[in-house]
Amino acid sequence: MPSTNWPAYAHGKITIYKQDSGQLFFGLNVEKGLDEEAMAVYLKGHSFFMSHEWCWHLFIKGLKSGQVQAALDVICQNACGLPACLEINGGVVDDPAIFDPYASGFPWDKAVWEYSGGALKCTIQPERYLFSERVV
């Protein structure tokens, strides 16, 4: 839902950008913030603390209910045979009060799956932060 709140981490956002390959990427950006338990450690950085209002919770419910898979099916049906991708990015935030997600050199990790024909295939394995074991 559109909002004038800033920063807009709690809200899902449409993403469009040109990839290094030259292809256009269209996506939905859903962010997961720091759990409210982290407030006991950090005095500042409140825009990164996730409340019950964050879109992340709806995304997780959609994964469990099959709504995300249904949306991926529709995307694939309308993408001229191209697969849909599911990408998860994340990293370690030492101090949310001074965190700059656009700073170069920030330690980041990602995992990417291609979705086609009702199946996910991992195409980029996370290297550091996202999972304790490799994903299939």
Tokens of 72: 């991926």
| Residues 6+ positions from 127 with CB-CB distance below 8 Å | 109
Tokens of 73: 């099916």
* 42 pLDDT above the threshold of 80: no
**Domain residue ranges in the chain:** 13-124
Q: How high does pLDDT run on average in the chain?
A: 80
pLDDT in tens, 71-116: 989 988 888 878 888 888 877 777 777 777 677 666 778 888 888 8
Backbone angles phi, psi at 21, to 5 degrees: -75, -10
pLDDT, position 41: 76
pTM comes to 0.75
